[in-house]
Amino acid sequence: MVELTSKEKKFLEFLKEQNAYKEALTTLQWDSHTQIPRGGVDQRSEVVGILSGKLQQAETSDRMKEFIDEMKMTSENELIRKAAEECERVYDKSRNVPNAEYQNYVTLCSKAESVWEEAREKDDFSLFEPYLKEIIGYNQEFAELWGYEGDRYNALLDNNETGVTVEMLDKVFPELRKSLTSLIEQVQASPVKADVSLLQTPFPIESQKVLSEELLKMIGYRFEDGRLDTSAHPYSFAINPNDVRLSTKYDENDFRTSVFSSVHEGGHALYEQNIGRHLMGTPLSAASSMGMHESQSLYWEMFVTADRGFWETNYDWFRSFAPEHFKSVSLDDFYLALHEVKASLIRIEADPLTYSMHIMLRYELEKALLNGDVKAAELPHIWNELMQKYLGVMPGSDRDGVLQDIHWSSGDFGYFPSYTLGYLYAAQLHNTMKKEVPFEKCLQTNDFASIRGWFTEHIHRHGKTKQPLELLKEVSSEELNPAYLVQYLTEKYGTIYKF
């Protein structure tokens, strides 16, 4: 490697400072979700607001602009140029947002999270509504300041999924919805019926914990570079590639909650733990996009540990941790029960066929909120109407309806589409991967290193040096194509439900 110039070194030092804020903020976020005592919550919002403000100040400073211009013009180091480009993307978006306002917004969101928690607990949307209204207002304003082409919502999509637009989603989502609706109907018409009650049996939390840990080790999560805690909402917190922490939650009467959450978050963590170390300290030491991130978590949750082959190899092993009860449950019944399809109220409990319906509902609502077509106060009503339309079910309470997700309280508008994009990316990548790695054989021998290795080679190690659609095309030699997910689901559920 060519020796860096002194200006390049200074640029990297400057980026390390911003990275320090990010690492501190992620650690504080992990702490807030898993460890903080009740008394500390309010003041934490202020601290997070101030540090986020400092970070934004640096990202939009004149000094940053000078570095960007100089590095883009003079640097012969590709990593430096890529980092400068990423900085420029952030600079161009954020520089128009006044720092004090941004800081107030972050403080508001940090506070809103705990209000949302209380509102959900008390099933009282009115507590949360004023906060949500304010958060939406900020997002509308920020979208204008960030700038966009076409729909205002594109400004938010761009934060999570650069390159993906409303125009694209408005084409892909209805198509996907049609296919999923047809699949759901075929499952419902099938004489084969999953009996989930077979899985819902008391399962000591201590054993679930060991099972989660063992599964994580199995797929290659490095505990020496992370840890597993408990939180209300399962999460992965990537402080840096050497410190990627997970949280899961436990339901004593349903092991699926912890086990599949742990694997899901573990999939996120595999991405972060395997980002190339040469990117550390720069803004490129991150996932390509939220959707690409989700593709990795869904991959391990759905394509690997929910695969028939996985359970053929590991059902006996699973039984060694599980209560006696499972001795009387056959592999066939167990596997079928894992694949129940049912229109339900809660997104994070939804099966792969109905899941994206929840996402599309949120996508429509977010677009309408951002464009001012729907007001915060109208949300509970419209939510319920759309649930009826998309899934044919009606929430009995806001807790099981509009209050179920943390995202809006954290200001995470524009994020939801990434979940379905994650499914689409995962299926498309799986299709390529299977040509290069003997997937079925890997599952027979619990050789997860080969699968993980393929993803590290093609996805993880690149961090944010490539945009999601660019990465997808490079790896799969094709544009985003929803047909792969539809095909995967049709084959899988067709086999299970015999259609």
Q: Which residues form the catalytic set? A: 265
Q: Which of 1, 3, 6, 38 binds a second copy (CB under 8 A)?
A: 38
Q: Which of 239, 259, 365, 486 binds a second copy (CB under 8 A)?
A: 239
Q: Which of 3, 76, 224, 324 binds a second copy (CB under 8 A)?
A: 224
Q: Which of 4, 7, 10, 47 binds a second copy (CB under 8 A)?
A: 47
Distance CA 269, CA 244 (A): 6
Which one, 36 or 331, has the nearer CB to a second copy?
36
Q: Closest separation between CB of residue 26 and a second copy, Å?
A: 10
**Pattern 55-74, a second copy, x by CB under 8 A:** --------------------
Q: Closest separation between CB of residue 41 and a second copy, Å?
A: 8
Q: Which of 36, 172, 198, 368 binds a second copy (CB under 8 A)?
A: 36
Q: Closest separation between CB of residue 25 and a second copy, Å?
A: 8
Residue 31 binding a second copy, by CB under 8 A: yes
Which one, 3 or 224, has the nearer CB to a second copy?
224
Q: Angle 389-394-395 (CA atoms, 0-180°, nearest 5)?
A: 135
Q: Which of 216, 221, 226, 484 binds a second copy (CB under 8 A)?
A: 226
Residue 236 binding a second copy, by CB under 8 A: no
Q: Closest separation between CB of residue 410 and a second copy, Å?
A: 19
Q: Which of 10, 46, 368, 432 binds a second copy (CB under 8 A)?
A: 46
Residue 6 binding a second copy, by CB under 8 A: no
Listed ranges 70-78, 216-224, 392-400, 443-451: which one lies at the site for a second copy (CB under 8 A)? 216-224
Residue 495 binding a second copy, by CB under 8 A: no
Count CB atoms within 10 A of the CB of residue 422: 26
Which one, 9 or 325, has the nearer CB to a second copy?
9
Q: What is the 3-state secondary structure (H, E, C) of 359-427?
A: HHHHHHHHHHHHCCCCCHHHHHHHHHHHHHHHHCCCCCCCCCCCCCCCHHHHCCCCCCHHHHHHHHHHH
Q: Closest separation between CB of residue 363 and a second copy, Å?
A: 35
Which one, 27 or 181, has the nearer CB to a second copy?
27
Distance CA 371, CA 360 (A): 17
Q: Which of 7, 209, 222, 233 binds a second copy (CB under 8 A)?
A: 222
Q: For residue 102, what are its two tokens?
A: 């941004």
Residue 268 binding a second copy, by CB under 8 A: no
Q: Closest separation between CB of residue 280 and a second copy, Å?
A: 7
Distance CA 354, CA 58 (A): 43
Distance CA 250, CA 203 (A): 10
Beta partners for residue 117, in sequence order:
none
Listed ranges 11-19, 124-132, 184-192, 318-326: which one lies at the site for a second copy (CB under 8 A)? 11-19
Contacts of 276 (CB under 8 A, 6+ apart): 461, 462, 463
Q: Closest separation between CB of residue 39 and a second copy, Å?
A: 3
Distance CA 69, CA 55 (A): 20
Q: Closest separation between CB of residue 241 and a second copy, Å?
A: 8
Closest alpha carbon to 307 in 480, 495, 452, 180: 495
Phi, psi of 41 (to 5 degrees): -65, -50
Q: What is the 3-state secondary structure (H, E, C) of 157-212?
A: HHHHCCCCCHHHHHHHHHHHHHHHHHHHHHHHHCCCCCCHHHCCCCCCHHHHHHHH
Between the alpha carbon of residue 3 and those of residues 17, 72, 196, 386, the distances in Å are: 21, 17, 61, 58
Give the footprint of a second copy on residues 274-303 (CB under 8 A). Answer: 280
Counting Cβ atoms within 10 Å, is residue 180 exposed (0-12), middle (13-18) or buried (19+)? buried
Q: Which of 227, 256, 407, 461 binds a second copy (CB under 8 A)?
A: 227
Amino acid at 298: L
Q: Which of 42, 141, 373, 479 binds a second copy (CB under 8 A)?
A: 42
β-pairing, 228-230 vs 243-248, is parallel
Amino acid at 430: H
Q: Which 3 state secondary structure label does DSSP give 227?
A: coil
Q: Which residue has the tokens 């649930």?
A: 387
Distance between first and last Cα of the chain: 57
Residue 51 binding a second copy, by CB under 8 A: yes
Residue 196 binding a second copy, by CB under 8 A: no
Residue 43 binding a second copy, by CB under 8 A: yes
Q: What does the binding site for a second copy look like in residue numbers (CB under 8 A)?
A: 16-17, 19-21, 23-24, 27-28, 31, 35-40, 42-44, 46-47, 50-51, 54, 222-227, 239-240, 242-243, 245, 280
